[in-house]
Amino acid sequence: MPTFRAPRGTRDLLPDDRAVFDHLERTATSLTARYGYRGIETPLFEQAAVFERGIGEVTDVVEKELFRIAPRTEEAEAWALRPEPTAGIARAYVQHGMQTWPQPVKLTTTGPMFRYDRPQAGRYRQFWQFDVEAIGDAGPAIDAEIIELGHRFYTEVGVQGVEVLVNSIGDPACRPAYVAELVEYYRGHLAALPPTERDRLERNVLRLLDSKDPAMTGLNAAAPRITDRLCEACAAHFESVKSHLTALGVPFRVDSGLVRGLDYYTRTAFEFYVAGRAGQQQALGGGGRYDGLVALLGGKPTPGIGFGLGLDRVALVLAEQGGSTAPAVEGPLAVVVGADPEDTVSRLRVATELRAAGLRARADLARRKLGRQLEAAGKDGAHFAVILGDELGQGQVQVRDLEAGTQRVVAIADLARELARAEASHKHG
């Protein structure tokens, strides 16, 4: 057992994992750019109040899962690691006066999020999201556009059988009456409620609906549904989102039990799942409309909508489905080896020149016999070995084509050009 290990619920992304994430991030970046989104970075930590106010004090994410940073005496601010990026982005929207930019402001970000949750397969304490936000458009057309974008991402990276679940969770006009009805309903089943849920009943009854406690499953299934109690404006919005989705050819299913775990949502809510994935109740991504969030954080009332892609879970599902996700690793074009094991200076100098010319080159620095150096170059998948020998004094080297088994003398002055030409003709031939 090693002395130190990555903290529970976190993991190291080794180069093969990182390559998959790179591929997912690149695909998402280029896809969202086609829809007019641009990148933004906000800090990995914020004033805790940004999350408490934005996400809601009585949510799992804030109440149980927030990584709070102990304040240092000289800076008495309470900070927390971000459990999600939307609140921080809305904070930045307000802080930088983005309401004066052309609306909607379309932003993406990608990086780690932190939630002190119970670790299990596909649920980590540090996980990665690719996040998409459109702030300043009340919809409903953009709701459908952003759901279509999410669905297209999974198709482009090759996840099979992704299902879109949508719902509407109302707004301040229709939700209060629904909340009152829901409180009545659960009060009628008080004895069956686990202590945390009983405690939340009066403070934030909506959160009972997304409780992970198995004791709640039956009660929640029979609870009154917001979808049946939407006001006229919310119902019309929801109908229009659905007809736009149909027109765009996005397959979706209405799930009136979908309420999402964060308080900032209004109206449209959605999640992406792999249909029939045995035993997994885990969304590959999810989001919704948050028309009250910007105002909660001190801005002018501004509508918004967005979603987060769970990169860890997408990578897991791709591996399970057996698809190849990351492009194969390219070996070096050339490895510089030499007859004199001690002459690392010459090998390094030649490799440095090749790299300066833009080529993938490695020098063998291990001070071993030429035969061993050549063997290692072959294992590396190198196309050429550049061999430094007796001709070095005349400014020449031997270039061995490790695939064809041929060898010839090349002037060092021409080496980069020759190798680049050989690589190009190899790729196109």
Residues that bind ligand HAM (CB under 6 A): 84, 86, 115, 117, 122-124, 127, 129, 131, 133, 261, 283-288, 290, 306-308, 310, 312-313
Nearer to ligand HAM, 165 or 333 (CB): 165
Nearer to ligand HAM, 47 or 126 (CB): 126
CB contact at 8 A, 288 and 304: no
Smallest gap from residue 310 Cβ to ligand HAM (A): 2
Task: Write the CA distances from 94 to 123, 134, 136, 220, integer angstroms.
Answer: 31, 14, 12, 37
Smallest gap from residue 86 Cβ to ligand HAM (A): 4
Nearer to ligand HAM, 90 or 416 (CB): 90
Q: Which two tokens stand for residue 295?
A: 């105002």
Nearer to ligand HAM, 163 or 312 (CB): 312
Smallest gap from residue 154 Cβ to ligand HAM (A): 11
Smallest gap from residue 179 Cβ to ligand HAM (A): 21
Return the DSSP state at 128: E
**Closest residue by Cα to residue 69 from 124, 119, 109, 116:** 116
Nearer to ligand HAM, 53 or 115 (CB): 115
Smallest gap from residue 160 Cβ to ligand HAM (A): 17
Smallest gap from residue 104 Cβ to ligand HAM (A): 13
Q: What is the tally of helices (H) and strands (E) in the chain?
A: 14, 16
In DSSP notation, 62-113 reads HHTS--EEPPBTTB---EEE-S-SHHHHHHHHHHTTGGGSSSSEEEEEEEEE
Question: How many angstroms separate the CA atoms of 322 and 138, rounded?
Answer: 40
In DSSP notation, 214-277 reads GGGHHHHHTS--GGGG--HHHHHHHHHHHHHHHHHT--EEE-TT---S-TT-EEEEEEEEETT-
The residue with its CB nearest to ligand HAM is 310
**Closest residue by Cα to residue 159 from 272, 11, 306, 31:** 272
| Pairing outcome for strands 252-254 and 162-168 | parallel
Smallest gap from residue 168 Cβ to ligand HAM (A): 15
Question: How many angstroms separate the CA atoms of 416 and 211, rounded?
Answer: 62
Which residues face 181 on adjacent strands?
none
Q: Which two tokens stand for residue 414?
A: 């021409």
Smallest gap from residue 398 Cβ to ligand HAM (A): 52
Question: How many angstroms separate the CA atoms of 17 and 212, rounded?
Answer: 29
Nearer to ligand HAM, 129 or 396 (CB): 129
Question: How many angstroms separate the CA atoms of 59 and 56, rounded?
Answer: 6
Q: Which two tokens stand for residue 73?
A: 């005496």
Smallest gap from residue 67 Cβ to ligand HAM (A): 12
Question: How many angstroms separate the CA atoms of 80 and 370, rounded?
Answer: 56
Nearer to ligand HAM, 283 or 416 (CB): 283
Nearer to ligand HAM, 159 or 336 (CB): 159
Nearer to ligand HAM, 23 or 123 (CB): 123
Judged by DSSP in three states, 110 sits in strand
Q: Which two tokens stand for residue 302?
A: 């501004």
Nearer to ligand HAM, 28 or 399 (CB): 28
Side-chain half-sphere exposure of 25, counting CA atoms within 13 A: 16
Smallest gap from residue 225 Cβ to ligand HAM (A): 20
